[in-house]
Structure 1
Amino acid sequence: MTLVLFEIVVKSECVDQFKGLLEAELPNTRAYDGCQHVTPFLDEDGRTFVLVEHWDSKEHYEKYMEWRAAPGPGFASLGDLASLIEGDPSIRYFEALEA
């Protein structure tokens, strides 16, 4: 299992829009092949979001990100996200240990 931490800082004027995007798009993410769980968290600064995601593997997540990168009708792409955030997202991967 792979744990993914996806962190972004949203522009102050776009926080409500981003929250709406999460509400609309997380069901698509959760339904994507290999996704076990996704939970969004908001920092006390009110603009920094971390999505804590569990995936079957890093490869499943990378395939999902390729899908998100391609614009398509009826869903938000990474390009749509780029206009709402400051800087680049931070994406960190962790592999589960047998302990």
Structure 2
Amino acid sequence: MMPGVKVTFTLKLKPEAIDGFCGALPEMIKDTAKRPGFQDLQIVRHATEPAIMFIETWDSEQSYHDYIAWRTERGEMDGMAAVLAGPPQLDFWPTLVAAAG
């Protein structure tokens, strides 16, 4: 596996939407895993806030942007926007400083 780039994507969801959104994720990420440049993905839920974070590894930032363009073309990003309580936070982490495990 190539080192790639880590991507974090944090969503603050409407409280009434979080359970349904999280429930749909296992099926949705099956398609993510098939996209060019995908390496791995974890999704974590905040303990007390209606928020989730996608922690992803892609071959490159461009691979991730291509993936988001594909999701957007399918109309899925509009659906996600309807359940957001605030703007999403997207960050790229290209440099591995240390690792264990």
The reply to whether TM is greater than 0.5 is: yes
User: Could you tell me which residue of structure 2 aligns to residue 85 of structure 1?
Assistant: 84
The answer to whether structure 1 residue 51 and structure 2 residue 54 are counterparts is yes
CA drift of 1:21 comes to: 2.1
Structure 1 alignment gaps of length 5 or more: none
Aligned residue type for 2:95: A
Per the normalisation by structure 1, the TM-score is: 0.88
C-alpha RMSD of matched pairs (Å): 1.6
Picking from 5, 9, 24, the partner of 1:6 is: 9
Q: Paired residue for 1:39?
A: 42
* 1-structure distance, mates of 2:64, 2:35: 9
User: Does 1:28 find its partner at 2:27?
Assistant: no
Point out the structure with the larger strand share: 1
Equivalent in the alignment of 1:65 = 68
User: Residue type of the partner of 1:64?
Assistant: Y
Q: Detail structure 1 runs of 4+ shifted over 4 Å in the superposition.
A: none
- Structure 1 residues 16, 61: closer, same or farther in 2, change over 3 A? same
Contact 2:18 2:51 in 1 (8 A): no
